[in-house]
Amino acid sequence: MSFSEYDVTRRTRKENFLKQIDQLIDWNSIEKAIAAHYAPVSDAAGRPAYSGLLLFKMLLVRIWNGGLSDESVEDMSNSNLHVMRFLGLSLEDDVPDHSVLSRFRTRLTAADAWDELLARVNEQIQVHDIAVRKGCHVDASITQSPRRPKARPAYEVVNDREERDDEPGAQSAMRVIEVTQPGVDSEAYWIQKGGKSVFGYKQHTVVDGNGLVLTVETTAANCHDSKPLLGLLEKANIRPGTRIHADKAYSSQKHRAALKSRGIKNGIQDKALRNNPLTRRQLQRNSLITKARYVVERTFGSQARWFNAKILRYRGLAKAHAWHMLLAMAYNLKRLPRLVADHRLITQT
């Protein structure tokens, strides 16, 4: 250990959150998963490249500190001793600049690597035996995009063939297309929420009994909550005997039959139909499900409060999904030290 490394260690608190995470997580499996998609030997100038794990940790630090910009997390990595220690940097080491961080995130997004990384993070969490899988919960939350249209969409007529408009068949070759407005996220969409129009994406999420995120699907905001349900259950590898809790938006005969065929217990709220109101027993059941599924609402609320998660900085569905997956990993790791401490307290009493 160099004098500078010793000085950094001496000047950081033992119970700092970043130190706790380093003690609880074995980063080797995560580093291997990153290296499958990002393992450069040198940078453009021929210098040794920064490790993928270092850049991944910088992305986590960025979210843990309220969703900083890439430039701000670069500054923090240069000035904050706790962050420097977490990243494995000494005072003499260079810190990756914001452009390196951006390219790293883009590379992993193009490789569709984020789902695998969440699985590796969750494997490390499961080592501490704190996951609660008896009951899982499904819900969706909207992430707003500031890159919304500034005016009503414009349209233009396009002729697919080089013909005069008055020639036979020319009219049938014409089509009307929407003109893309500059700066607008063309993959996001509008939805009515609470009487207001919201433009962006929807985060479809499965959490365990602790509220830890198991898996996420990202769609445009106008996608109905229930549409990705069966795909989410497959991705989360929900075991037979597990009860899935969800609100009445997920209620359908198709979903009830699918859960039964998989041996998954139905915890979806009942929905009243025309001329067929809910019975007292169904109302009581819905009330019990509401009390059980608060944990998924807590997950969304905590992400919004801690990480400023409701506003998307990026454009496009793939980058929106990357943001949602990073939020999931940051949230699970943020909750880990407290959950481990509570679990140890219970086992000791």
Q: What does the pLDDT look like over 61-120, one tens digit per residue?
A: 999 999 999 999 999 999 999 999 999 998 888 899 999 999 999 999 999 999 999 999
pLDDT score recorded for residue 287: 95
pLDDT score recorded for residue 156: 47
Crossing angle (nearest 10°) for helices 28-35 and 114-126: 170
pLDDT score recorded for residue 275: 85
Tell me the mean pLDDT in the region 229-244: 93
Q: Which CATH code, of 3.50.50.60, 1.10.3720.10, 3.30.420.10, 1.10.10.60, is assigned to 133-147+187-348?
A: 3.30.420.10
pLDDT score recorded for residue 29: 94
273-331 residue pLDDT tens: 888 899 999 999 999 999 999 999 999 999 999 999 999 989 999 999 999 999 999 99
pLDDT score recorded for residue 38: 92
pLDDT score recorded for residue 176: 54
CA–CA distance, 52 with 6 (Å, rounded to integer): 25
Q: Cβ neighbours of residue 155 under 8 Å, at least 6 residues apart?
A: 176, 177, 178, 179
pLDDT score recorded for residue 130: 78
Asked if the model's pLDDT at residue 182 lies above 50, the reply is: yes
pLDDT score recorded for residue 181: 60
pLDDT score recorded for residue 278: 93
Q: Which of 99, 78, 116, 73 is nearest to 321 (CA)?
A: 116
pLDDT score recorded for residue 19: 92
pLDDT score recorded for residue 327: 98
Q: Which of 189, 202, 208 is nearest to 141 (CA)?
A: 202
pLDDT score recorded for residue 9: 54
In the chain, where the domains are located: 3-111, 133-147+187-348, 149-184
Angle at 271 between CA 270 and CA 272, to 5 degrees: 125
Strand partners, 268: 246
pLDDT score recorded for residue 163: 47
Mean pLDDT, the chain, integer:
87
pLDDT score recorded for residue 3: 43
Q: Which of 34, 267, 319 is nearest to 135 (CA)?
A: 267
pLDDT score recorded for residue 110: 96
pLDDT score recorded for residue 160: 47
Kind of pairing between the strands at 135-144 and 243-246: parallel
Q: Which of 346, 287, 281, 338 is nearest to 125 (CA)?
A: 338
129-175 residue pLDDT tens: 876 667 899 999 999 999 888 765 554 444 444 444 455 555 555 56
